A = this chain, B = another copy of it.
Amino acid sequence: MPKKRILIIGGVAAGMKAASRLRRLDSQSEIVVVERSQRFSYGACALPYFVEGLFDDLDEVRQTPAGVTRDEAFFERVKGIKVLSGCEAVEINRQQQRVLVRNLESQSSEYIGYDNLVLATGCRPIMPALPGMELAGVLPLKTMEDAEKIDRFASDAKRAVVVGAGLIGLEMAEALVARGLIVTLLERQGQILDAVVDADLAGLAARELSKQGVDLRLNEGLVSLEGEAGRVCRAVTKSGSYAADLVVMAIGVRPETELAAAAGLRLGESGGILVDPQMRTSDPQIFAAGDCVEVVQLQTGKHLHLPLGSTANRQGRVLADQLGGSSDLFPGVLGTLIVKLFDQSLARTGLSASDATAAGYAAESVLISAPDRVHAYPGVKPVVIRLIADRNSRKLLGAQMAGPGEIAGRINVIVSLLSLNGTVDDLARLDLAYAPPFATAMDPLHQAANALRNKLDGLAASYTPLELQQRRQQLQPMILLDVRSPAEAEQVRIPGAILIPLGQLRERLHELPPDREIVPFCKLSLRGYEAARILLAAGFKKVRYLEGGVIAWPYELETAARQQVA
């Protein structure tokens, strides 16, 4: 009996993970990987950090943790996997179970038969058909080749324009600033990370970008690129133009589905290849995984194209189990994302309040600020946490977090609770790890859970920074009440606030008009909430504290010298 052959198209993340796991499960079958590039099995997510100069040799992204380069010989000798690099799959013949493969160097073609086929064709950057896109120095960041080209252009460039303030665009803006370039970041939407985090958290990150020297231009879509002697020199938008001898295009990606579509495999509503939880396509002999497939959002059931290296690896393993006689499922994703932005980080998982409302939940949310460890411990930094839950079931629905403090571990706690339908009360009761170098006695997560419980239980009414800013812009009458100390208020303040330190509030209540809405706040949110409780107990009816305090306020701030901060 001839050996069973598993043919895998695409050798970056999902394809190589599937191949490696399958080999460990099945020592007999022939495993063949067809890969267009000469370089494969690499961590594409690390490419921005190569451009930034954080590692010397680009090949580090395709090395094992022990420093061995994952090349053809490595896969042959170590894993027993055959990789046909520099070869492109041209056509799938499902009836005959074979794929036409062209060697890109020799241009010769051959058919390779399969018992099972795996599509791990990935995605490609969207390059819009705008004038000037063909100019030298206009580049996406997707492959190792792209990273090398950007690296070369960056070494003799002075000014770069990055188009698109999504994850890749933000990472590239940081990388290029670190390389000493003057960087303009163009974003068509009114905020960075649109549809990823809420506008107020995005505002905190945008402030960090400005602080680090990135010229962020919101509501600015690219219209055309202009060049000199074939190299880009200028990016043009509707309202302006920006000098640039390097333009990085990062407006998004599309799944690579041409092969699948031509073979009649079903695509999903997001445009990715449709697969079931075993990663099987509409042809039972053909599987797919990674950036070319669409995923299900676990809470809404919506189909999304959300390519991530982590998802690709987990899917590759599930697929290998299916082929290798084991069993596992990839039920979907929560949409967890995290990104480092200079000294800040931003993360999210699950639903935003507006997502949740749209999905039919009675969404309630809260925003808190807190130190990430005991406030006297060296290295302490604030974190800002937004939690979203359903008012009726108290089920957690999502979270968004912003650093500089530690948020990666904390977003993963929410991921865990969302995955098991945990409530805000479950979160408040978690026996989280506590020692002063790592957390506060009440972890910021506990504080967030309790702040949300206070809202759900009718103990607190509040405004998010965004809500308050909108009311101020509408000139709603209110008293913005700063309950910090005079020394704190001297350093930085929210314009228009009046100051009554919390310790004087009980004796100065008569200074406040009983019929006016009062919005107390402090640095974090603790004294602001305390002030709200005091005001309510004293008979004031319209009291809402400002969630997150000064730390989470992404809008205008005044310093002592009345200068605007960012």
Contacts and interface: CB of A to CB of B under 8 A. Distances in A.
B413 A409 contact: yes
A2 to B, nearest CB: 19
B409 A376 contact: no
Given A49-B436, A313-B442, 7 more contacts: A25-B459, A46-B377, A49-B437, A65-B371, A310-B442, A409-B412, A419-B422
Contacts of A317: 450
Contact of A77 (B64, B68, B441, B506): B506
Complex copy number for this chain: 2
What 3 A-B pairs come out closest when comparing CB atoms? A409-B409, A27-B537, A416-B416
Contacts of A338: 433-435, 438
A493 interface: no
20 contacts: A24-B459, A43-B374, A43-B376, A49-B377, A61-B376, A64-B526, A66-B484, A66-B485, A68-B485, A74-B503, A313-B442, A328-B425, A330-B429, A338-B435, A409-B409, A409-B412, A412-B413, A415-B433, A420-B421, A420-B426
A: interface residue count bin: 35 or more
Nearest to A59: B376
A523 interface: yes
A54 to B, nearest CB: 5
Contacts of A416: 413, 416-417, 420, 422, 430
A431 B409 contact: no
Contacts of A488: 66
Interface in A10-34: 13, 23-25, 27
Contact of A431 (B375, B415, B429, B502): B415
A522 B419 contact: no
A448 to B, nearest CB: 14
B438 A408 contact: yes
Contact of A336 (B80, B314, B425, B433): B433
A441 B409 contact: no
A368 interface: no
A213 to B, nearest CB: 20
A431 B46 contact: no
Interface string A514-555: 000000001110110110011001000000000000000000
Interface in A21-71: 23-25, 27, 43, 45-46, 49, 54-55, 60-61, 63-66, 68
A305 to B, nearest CB: 15
